[in-house]
């Protein structure tokens, strides 16, 4: 009989914050580290300890015990404290594609700085994993991934449930990304606690190992058996070496050893069977399970967190980083960028961004989001002002207001620019400050137009906001307060600048424009621009007609409400099974804006729903009735949901923007918006991590959950043989396809408990009060990929940064473009300064099944390199310009020397 090897890896899966706050958990982290350092010092046979695949645990410990830094780093360099490759263990589906890359980039940077190389793609408890993970890992020179979810269902209190239908034949398998990249996948088939608390007493140890060996051997494809000695927040087992020695005495046919992933993987690879098949392709979402423990509804728990995260990610990825290419101080920019990314990523662990922790955790998250958003905006504004101050902004009219527009979308575009401008500033040192507001009121507001660097003039719509207080912060003096007239300015802009700037001027004066007659036909029931016609019905639904194709989309935007007796992790419809709808209700309709550039209509609906679940739900929670078995109904008393829906249509837009405000006064329910999209289909598309994934509308045969909810990143899209509809959201990540014909997007989910291994009430997860949602409806012919409608969806949240500055002679040109590329079928995801040197990093992915050509114009005589996602140069592609083919689903990164 072949002698088997049992690799026992000591670890602790460390959720920074979950059923306790960060600082409460930190106490136990410090105790764990203290015990570890003592154990490593006194026991040379204690091989190593796996620090859960993340580096932030080291930072969290050293913040309390900075005097231990040298000792911690010593054991990291020796390979006895194993860190990385991630900065934190993030949720894969609720953090953006580039956030996943930054997590690996900064995690690997810290890992290397501390003296190790990250060699394992570690996803122990990630709530599903995106399909492009193998390609991302391979680009980071990582060829093995370890994961616990996505294949085998894991339920209450870390219990794994196996059956022939659910389980992988092996715990080792090949995992293939859509582009064909493969890594070795290691499934924690019996969870990452299958070697926890090993007995050091003979009778208990014999029984323990008899069961544990059988459980592991059932799935192992080799004689190398993996036992994870730890669990969530598990303290160190100090007698583990004694327990291992006892196991070797009791089981002579097995070699038990305290091991590490590096050692286990090296020995595993020597024995992997040649017939080991690629049995996983693409994303891991527990497709072949009963569907009750996928944790997918964390996508809709506390949606306000997802919305804040979306704002912050967009700000860092699509504003701060590309503007760094223009920053005068690249080192300062890199330092601030990493600082804000790391602060944001503190909100990205799965129990954090998923909204499935106690209320204290999520209150702290809101503060972090605010710090990132306010800090990054201030940094962007001040850097932009520094750049603007160096540019030639003078004008023949001394009253013209210079506006420097910073374009960072990465592509040429036409769009409405909306910004606020201060005119007629009066500083406190120029007049008694109490007299300034009255003086400003007496100044009549003139007409304005916009003049661009080429001398062309364009119509501007100006609306006075009022008298506003402000202040300047000079570099060499004390702050200078002022009052000014504040105006809102809207104008249409078409530009070829992909990443760069241009100087425009807001010039007082009368001009006649050919587009002077508004294109809008806005009435109480209609919006129209060049591309779309929107008709509004009495019940608040609306019809969009695509004027370019003649295709119509009827009765969009009704709201449905159902009871939710689940928890922060999983939705469970109430036992009554009733669905309430705003269809055929009555809504008030009001035009609130109608200019040459934008029109908006407000729809107001009052929706009566049960105020909460009935009393049975409280008993079911207290008695730990697992959510699939709950039967509670809804309360007889009602509450009113007041829903205000604003439809916005801009000049040139090929989509309808929708903003929803919900005054939620009900508990234990879910509110969704419904979008019928045609005559039906068997599949749909959703935005994921560097992928537009095609998913079936019906689940696998094993699925028994009545709901079939999914994650999306930016959008979901459904089409029939002729027409398609794409719904792009801001921080809206949950949807379901109903009857193959209708997209249902979750706008609000109210629940009252955490929902794992105990009774943890979370009243703030009921989301009482004002809640908001924003989305963008894009009609198109065919599917989202062939129509390239995904580019409109990706551009939806992007806004141009506009900086008001003073007239100055300055230097250089009034416009500059730092990036010039073509290949419309490709999606650009980042354009940023390189982590080292003065280079530029640009990344795209190919979402389709066809090879696409990419053409890029760089700086003359400067080299262009193919790069990894970690910004390592791989191949010299040429100088000045590059033309290359991008394979289907390929992620491509280029490094431009500057």
What is the rounded distance in angstroms from the CA atom of residue 510 to the CA atom of residue 449?
Answer: 8
Q: CA-to-CA distance for 311 and 320, rounded, in angstroms?
A: 12
CA–CA separation, 370 vs 374, rounded Å?
6
54 Cβ neighbours under 8 A, 6+ residues apart: 14, 83, 84, 86, 87, 88, 89, 107
Burial class (CB in 10 A: 0-12, 13-18, 19+), 511: middle
Largest Cα separation within the chain, whole Å, is 98
d(CA 529, CA 493): 16
Counting runs of H as helices and runs of E as strands, what totals does the chain give? Answer: 16, 45
Rounded Cα distance, 741 and 845, in Å = 29
**Whose CA is closest to 415, among 714, 780, 798?**
798
Strand 852-857 and strand 881-886: the pairing is antiparallel
Phi, psi of 134 (to 5 degrees): -60, -40
The structure tokens listed for 582 are 């705003």
Structure token digits, residue 361:
């955790």
Is 783 noted as a catalytic residue in this protein?
no
Contact 710, 736 (CB under 8 A): yes
| DSSP annotation of 464 | E
Cis peptide bond prior to 890, omega within 30° of 0 = no
Strand order in the sheet with 182-187: 121-123, 144-147, 182-187, 172-176, 278-281
Nearest one of 503, 505, 496, 504 to 818, comparing CA atoms: 496
- 331: number of Cβ within 10 Å: 9
* Residue appearing with tokens 């100090």: 238
Distance of CA 110 to the CA centre of its chain: 22
List of E strands, 513-655: 526-528, 532-536, 542-546, 552-556, 558-563, 579-581, 588-594, 598-610, 638-650
373 and 313 in contact (C-beta within 8 Å)? Answer: no
Give first-to-last CA distance, the chain, whole Å.
Answer: 63
Residue 224 · residue 5 · CB < 8 Å: yes
3-class secondary-structure state, position 367 = helix
CA gap 509, 457 in Å, rounded? 11
Find the catalytic residue in 15, 60, 91, 125.
Answer: 125
Contact call for residues 563 and 634 (beta carbons, < 8 A):
yes
Q: By the 8 A CB rule, do 873 and 890 touch?
A: no
Q: Is 406 helix (H, G, I), strand (E, B) or coil?
A: strand
Residues 807/685, Cβ–Cβ less than 8 Å: no
Report DSSP state, residue 158: G
- Any idea what DSSP says for residue 92? S
Q: Which H, E and C letters describe 35-86, residue by residue?
A: HHHHHHHHCCCCCCEECCCECHHHHHHHHHCHHHHHHHHHHHHCCCEECCCE
Dihedral, CA of residue 242, residue 244, residue 246 and residue 252, to nearest 10: -160
Pairing of strands 413-427, 121-123: unpaired
Tell me the three state secondary structure of residue 316. helix
Structure token pair of residue 705: 């959950």
Among positive and negative, which fits the CA dihedral 415, 416, 419, 425? positive
| 3-class DSSP assignment, residue 639 | strand
Give catalytic residues, as residue numbers: 125
């Amino acid at each position: 009989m072949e002698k088997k090897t049992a690799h026992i890896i000591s670890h602790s899966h460390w959720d920074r914050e979950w059923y306790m706050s960060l600082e409460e958990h930190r106490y136990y982290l410090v105790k764990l580290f203290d015990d570890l350092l003592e154990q490593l010092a006194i026991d040379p046979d204690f091989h190593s300890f796996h620090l859960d695949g993340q580096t932030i645990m080291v930072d969290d410990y050293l913040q309390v015990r900075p005097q231990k830094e040298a000792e911690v780093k010593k054991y990291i360099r020796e390979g006895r404290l194993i860190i990385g490759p991630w900065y934190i263990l993030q949720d894969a589906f609720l953090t953006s594609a580039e956030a996943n890359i930054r997590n690996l980039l900064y995690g690997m940077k810290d890992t290397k700085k501390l003296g190790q190389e990250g060699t394992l793609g570690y996803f122990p408890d990630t709530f599903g994993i995106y399909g492009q993970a193998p390609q991302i890992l391979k680009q980071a020179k990582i060829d093995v991934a370890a994961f616990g979810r996505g294949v085998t269902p894991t339920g209450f209190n870390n219990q794994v449930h196996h059956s022939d239908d659910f389980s992988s034949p092996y715990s080792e398998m090949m995992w293939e990304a859509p582009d064909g990249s493969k890594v070795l996948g290691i499934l924690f088939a019996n969870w990452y606690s299958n070697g926890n608390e090993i007995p050091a007493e003979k009778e208990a140890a014999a029984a323990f190992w008899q069961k544990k060996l059988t459980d592991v051997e059932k799935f192992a494809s080799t004689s190398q058996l993996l036992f994870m000695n730890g669990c969530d927040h598990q303290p160190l087992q100090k007698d583990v070496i004694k327990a291992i020695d006892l196991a070797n005495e009791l089981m002579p046919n097995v070699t038990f050893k305290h091991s590490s992933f590096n050692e286990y993987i090296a020995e595993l690879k020597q024995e992997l069977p040649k017939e080991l098949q690629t049995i996983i392709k693409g994303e891991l979402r527990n497709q072949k399970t009963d569907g009750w423990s996928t944790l997918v509804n964390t996508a809709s728990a506390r949606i306000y967190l997802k919305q804040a995260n979306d704002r912050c990610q967009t700000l860092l990825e699509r504003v701060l980083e590309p503007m760094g290419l223009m920053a005068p101080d690249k080192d300062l920019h890199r330092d601030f960028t990493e600082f804000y990314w790391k602060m944001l990523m503190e909100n990205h662990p799965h129990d954090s961004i998923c909204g499935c922790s106690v209320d204290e955790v999520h209150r702290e998250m809101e503060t972090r989001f605010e710090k990132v958003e306010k800090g990054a905006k201030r940094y962007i504004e001040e850097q932009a002002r520094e750049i603007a101050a160096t540019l030639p902004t003078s004008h023949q009219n001394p009253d013209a207001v210079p506006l420097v527009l910073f374009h960072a979308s990465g592509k040429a575009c036409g769009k409405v620019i909306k910004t606020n401008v201060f005119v007629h500033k009066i500083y406190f040192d120029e007049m008694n400050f109490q007299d300034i507001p009255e003086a400003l009121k007496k100044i009549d507001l003139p007409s304005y137009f916009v003049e661009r660097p080429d001398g062309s003039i364009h119509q501007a719509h100006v609306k006075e906001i009022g008298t506003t207080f402000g202040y300047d912060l000079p570099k060499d003096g004390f702050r200078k307060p002022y009052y000014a007239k504040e105006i809102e300015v809207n104008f249409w802009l078409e530009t070829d600048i992909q990443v760069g700037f241009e100087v425009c001027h807001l010039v007082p004066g009368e001009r006649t424009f050919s587009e002077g007659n508004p294109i809008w036909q806005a009435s109480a029931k209609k919006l129209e621009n060049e591309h779309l016609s929107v008709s509004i019905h009495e019940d608040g639904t609306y019809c969009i007609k695509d004027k370019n194709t003649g295709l119509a989309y009827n009765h969009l935007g009704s709201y449905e409400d159902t009871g939710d007796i689940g928890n922060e992790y999983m939705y469970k419809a109430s036992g009554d099974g009733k669905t309430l709808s705003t269809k055929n209700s009555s809504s008030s309709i009001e035009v609130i804006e109608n200019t040459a550039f934008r029109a908006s209509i407000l729809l107001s609906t009052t929706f009566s729903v049960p105020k909460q679940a009935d009393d049975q739900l409280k008993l079911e929670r207290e008695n730990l009735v697992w959510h699939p078995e709950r039967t509670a109904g809804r309360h007889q008393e009602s509450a009113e949901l007041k829903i205000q829906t604003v439809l916005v249509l801009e000049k040139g837009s090929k989509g309808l923007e929708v903003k929803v405000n919900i005054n939620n006064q009900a508990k234990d329910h879910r509110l969704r918006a419904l979008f019928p999209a045609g005559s039906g289909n068997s599949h749909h598309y959703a935005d994921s991590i560097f992928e537009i994934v095609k998913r079936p509308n019906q689940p696998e045969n094993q699925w028994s959950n009545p709901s079939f909810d999914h994650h999306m990143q930016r959008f979901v899209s459904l089409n029939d043989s002729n027409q398609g509809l794409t719904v792009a959201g801001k921080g809206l990540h949950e949807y379901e396809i109903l009857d193959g014909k209708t997209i249902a997007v979750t706008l609000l989910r109210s629940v009252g408990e955490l929902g794992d291994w105990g009774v943890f009430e979370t009243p703030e997860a009921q989301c009482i009060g004002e809640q908001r949602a924003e989305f963008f409806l894009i009609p198109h012919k065919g599917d989202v990929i062939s129509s390239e409608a995904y580019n409109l969806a990706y551009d939806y949240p992007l806004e141009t940064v506009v900086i008001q500055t003073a007239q100055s002679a300055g230097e250089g040109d009034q416009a500059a473009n730092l990036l010039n590329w073509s290949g419309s079928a490709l999606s650009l995801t980042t354009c940023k300064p390189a982590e080292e040197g003065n280079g530029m990093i640009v990344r795209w992915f190919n979402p389709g099944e066809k090879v696409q050509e990419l053409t890029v114009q760089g700086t003359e005589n400067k080299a262009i390199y193919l790069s990894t996602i970690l910004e390592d140069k791989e191949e010299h592609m040429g100088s000045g310009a590059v033309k290359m083919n991008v394979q289907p689903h390929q992620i491509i990164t280029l490094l431009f020397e500057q």
